[in-house]
Chain A
């Protein structure tokens, strides 16, 4: 039974993560991970890591500057 509970828990976590990814809720976390993975660039003087609010505004600007919804 605990094994099954663990499996159910894992499946729920996966579904939740999927939902966060699809909706864009996890976009900033992914961006932070990208920054951490590219530490060298992140430390260069020209690079400025965006805050959550800045990242959100920037994402909206990029998303709604191009065709992103269909008929």
Chain B
């Protein structure tokens, strides 16, 4: 293509993106069609990928295809396997795509569609993609070292230890947050609970097939498993219709929480081939299938968004979670725009499989663009609901009351009309007893997805099946994160515990496995239990805690990245990682401060604890509630302490990094870069 044509094409794409972003930002009179969001997102991604990522690849990181990658130098057919870039981007995307980009934007929709959508798109292209890409590159240049190892070698010994502790703490909070979402989605829902329960024997069957009948035939085993899961979703409606069966599968929040903790323990301690791995295969298939189907459904139905661009809750009084746009929109969206957890994947298996250095661009930067698009689709699915329905599902009973009438009255007073009969009818149409007080984002996302899917296939008749398909899809891969995370958490506990008591460090020692599994399950189980008991729905305290933890980890990855760039002599381009790092440090520190010290009891943990304590002192709490209230006080203080510890750990790492930066910049210290030495590649570029 000649130069003129290229210029015209890129100008047209840029203009289309700018027009769509302007429509999203400024249109207030007419409800917007979802197509504007798709155009705005895709055009921005394409332009950012073409220009910004190529600038980072060429100028900042200086990717060098003449240099042999670890996959070539250390090829072993197992971990270090040179892999085609389109295969590897599939691997990498399946690993980074979790429930976060679906749940975060759904919750952030309480501010209206505008703030969340802008952050999803711009945060990804300027922050999240940069973090993933640079971390992947730095790890690839260091033979696939982990973020913790890189922090230790490039920033300092304490930095490495802090990174390991931060990852463990973040894992615990993450697992509690996602488990709470499953509990909120499945409580008193026999259809959903049955479907999810059935995935366990189905996974075991697939596991036995893969281990004994046809070892390693993942594709055929997964297809059989997926077919069985779909049968389970359909069969759920009969369970729901039968009085005795539906009673057996109707579980309360606390009962579900206990079941999930027991499940997490079992999945962590049992051999991986039996439950964890086959569930992971099923989940990966359904996850990618549902995401592709959602994209197709949005383009086919082209729904109109009902939510306004901005709601009154930008003032911080939102019922879904408390806090103003800054910093809580950023904290809540988390993974869809920037995810610290991706830095762990980007410094895990992916860098060991890259064929040529230049492939890191499409894999690191490109996969995160796809993740951001998943977030934009979740935002669309949440905003196609009428705001009244959205708030009825996502606001806790502690705020809107327990009956459709009280909820409708409170939500109406916020300026969002809601017919109490409409929410009852909608619940019955999707096969649920009630949709009120279903905090956590999963049910409202499932209603939005079901509306889009049923607009494509089946109409109203299939609304219930589509709703439960969406719930199963979310719950299935949340449980996959839960069991995989618990297992890795167990290894971390064993690694850390091994320093104190040697036998605990041996991975195959059964008492060690049981003790460490119980410790990690107990830790996230405690936060889950606390969320289930919380009268404000739990999400209000656990999700921001998760968001803060996740964004702090992203700040850690960007601190490490900035340090390495400085050591590489790239002072001129340091803003590429420094700017998103500064943004994340500002966001997380403000959020941490507000969550600990804010005077509003809904926002500040200490204010909530003090309010409850003063109520006990004033005799305003009935005697039978005093013990439970004292537990709430303790939990709020614990949450404040956890937030403070996380923030302090990052401050300590930042301080350590600043001393390294100062030594390089001002004391003229020779920067020791721990890259693997240059070895020329033996492979041609087209390989």
Q: How far is the CA of A61 from the CA of B276 in the complex (A)?
A: 11
Which of A28, A57, A64 has the most CB atoms of chain B within a 10 A radius of its CB? A64
Decide: A18 and B87 in contact? CB cutoff 8 A: yes
- CB B124 to nearest CB in A, in angstroms, measures 15
Decide: A69 and B480 in contact? CB cutoff 8 A: yes
Q: How far is the CA of A20 from the CA of B221 in the complex (A)?
A: 12
Task: Tally chain B residues at the interface, Cβ within 8 Å.
Answer: 56
- CB B70 to nearest CB in A, in angstroms, measures 15
- Which chain B residues in 337-379 approach chain A with CB under 8 Å? 339, 341-342, 344-345, 348-349
A23 CB-CB contact with B under 8 Å: yes
Q: How far is the CA of A28 from the CA of B210 in the complex (A)?
A: 13
A interface, by DSSP: helix, strand, loop or mixed? Answer: helix
* Contact flag A67-B344 (CB < 8 Å), given A21-B83, A60-B273: yes
A44 CB-CB contact with B under 8 Å: no
Which of B77, B277, B345 has the most CB atoms of chain A within a 10 A radius of its CB? B77
Q: How far is the CA of A65 from the CA of B492 in the complex (A)?
A: 10
- CB A44 to nearest CB in B, in angstroms, measures 14
- Residue from the list B276, B285, B339 in contact with A70, Cβ < 8 A: B339
- CB A14 to nearest CB in B, in angstroms, measures 10
Q: How far is the CA of A24 from the CA of B216 in the complex (A)?
A: 8
Q: How far is the CA of A51 from the CA of B95 in the complex (A)?
A: 27
- CB B354 to nearest CB in A, in angstroms, measures 15
Residues of chain B within 8 A of A30, CB atoms compared: 77, 81
B215 CB-CB contact with A under 8 Å: yes
Decide: A69 and B219 in contact? CB cutoff 8 A: no
A8 CB-CB contact with B under 8 Å: no
- Residue from the list A60, A64, A70 in contact with B335, Cβ < 8 A: A70
Residues of chain A within 8 A of B178, CB atoms compared: 71
B222 CB-CB contact with A under 8 Å: yes
Q: How far is the CA of A66 from the CA of B485 in the complex (A)?
A: 9
- Which chain B residues in 211-252 approach chain A with CB under 8 Å? 211, 215-219, 222
Decide: B215 and A56 in contact? CB cutoff 8 A: yes
- CB A42 to nearest CB in B, in angstroms, measures 10
- CB B277 to nearest CB in A, in angstroms, measures 5
- Which chain A residues in 31-62 approach chain B with CB under 8 Å? 31, 34-35, 38, 52-53, 55-62
Decide: B87 and A22 in contact? CB cutoff 8 A: yes
Q: How far is the CA of A57 from the CA of B79 in the complex (A)?
A: 14
B97 CB-CB contact with A under 8 Å: yes
Decide: A31 and B77 in contact? CB cutoff 8 A: yes
Decide: B341 and A70 in contact? CB cutoff 8 A: yes
A68 CB-CB contact with B under 8 Å: yes
B123 CB-CB contact with A under 8 Å: no
Which of A52, A56, A65 has the most CB atoms of chain B within a 10 A radius of its CB? A56
Which of A21, A58, A65, A71 has the most CB atoms of chain B within a 10 A radius of its CB? A71
- Residue from the list B76, B215, B345 in contact with A68, Cβ < 8 A: B345
- CB A34 to nearest CB in B, in angstroms, measures 3
Decide: A69 and B485 in contact? CB cutoff 8 A: yes
Decide: B90 and A22 in contact? CB cutoff 8 A: yes
Decide: A21 and B81 in contact? CB cutoff 8 A: no
- CB B527 to nearest CB in A, in angstroms, measures 14
Residues of chain A within 8 A of B91, CB atoms compared: 22
Residues of chain A within 8 A of B222, CB atoms compared: 23
Decide: B78 and A62 in contact? CB cutoff 8 A: yes
Q: How far is the CA of A58 from the CA of B87 in the complex (A)?
A: 21
Residues of chain B within 8 A of A70, CB atoms compared: 95-98, 100, 335, 339, 341-342, 344-345, 481
Q: Which residue of B lies closest to A27 (CB)?
A: B216
Residues of chain A within 8 A of B42, CB atoms compared: none
Residues of chain A within 8 A of B285, CB atoms compared: 23
Which of A18, A20, A57 has the most CB atoms of chain B within a 10 A radius of its CB? A57
Residues of chain A within 8 A of B281, CB atoms compared: 23
Q: Which residue of A lies closest to B546 (CB)?
A: A71
Interface string of B507-540 (1 = CB under 8 A from A): 1000000000000000000000000000000000
Decide: B335 and A62 in contact? CB cutoff 8 A: no
Decide: B90 and A71 in contact? CB cutoff 8 A: no
- Which chain B residues in 45-92 approach chain A with CB under 8 Å? 75-79, 81, 83-84, 86-87, 90-91
In the complex, besides A19-B219, A23-B281, A71-B98, 4 extra interface pairs with C-beta distance below 8 angstroms are: A23-B222, A24-B218, A67-B341, A70-B341
List 11 contacting pairs A-B, 8 Å CB cutoff, sorted by A: A21-B90, A22-B90, A22-B94, A30-B81, A53-B211, A59-B216, A66-B488, A67-B344, A71-B98, A71-B174, A71-B178
Which B positions have Cβ atoms within 8 angstroms of A? 75-79, 81, 83-84, 86-87, 90-91, 94-100, 174, 178, 210-211, 215-219, 222, 272-273, 276-277, 280-281, 284-285, 334-335, 339, 341-342, 344-345, 348-349, 480-481, 484-485, 487-488, 491, 507, 546, 550
| Closest 4 A/B residue pairs (Cβ) | A34-B77, A22-B90, A56-B216, A53-B215
